[in-house]
Amino acid sequence: MDKNFKKHTFEAGDCIIREGDQSHFAYLIINGEVEIRHDMLGDNPHTIAHLSKGDVFGEISLFDGLPNMASAVAIRDTTVNILSENEFHRRVAAMDPLMRGILKTQIKRIRKLLEKITDEDDDLNWSDWKKK
């Protein structure tokens, strides 16, 4: 294992990242499963992604410095390698400048797309649904 990673296991049900919080780590799943959920505590909670071994999460907020757009919840016991914010930025700074610029553009597009999708979902408020 790379000395810049810290290994950690989360139990099923643990909230690893909270929507609206600032991220300080990126997580690489070694084993287990994680769901990325938007509006987890609101009227329209929904799952955006289901992640497993080899997937990474928490990186978007590290790229742009904005708060997390979703929460990450372990849906079974999950072991991850954790990369610190400082190490993440060190590695990004070492990238080819053109590739770094392309990646940052992609992050902006992902945020805009997720905002659009979640804004559209806000029109469907299941808590107001009434049986006819």
In tens, the pLDDT along 12-67 reads 999 999 999 998 999 999 999 999 998 887 777 889 899 999 999 999 999 899 99
- Name the packing angle between helices 85-93 and 97-121 (round to 10°): 130
- Give 82-96 pLDDT, tens digit per residue: 999 999 999 999 999
Averaged pLDDT score across all residues of the chain: 88
Among residues 99, 114, 98, which one has the least CA distance to residue 19? 114
Looking at residue 123, its pLDDT comes to 55
Domains of the chain with bracketed CATH:
5-124 (2.60.120.10)
Are the beta carbons of 33 and 51 closer than 8 angstroms? yes
Tokens representing 26?
């990126």
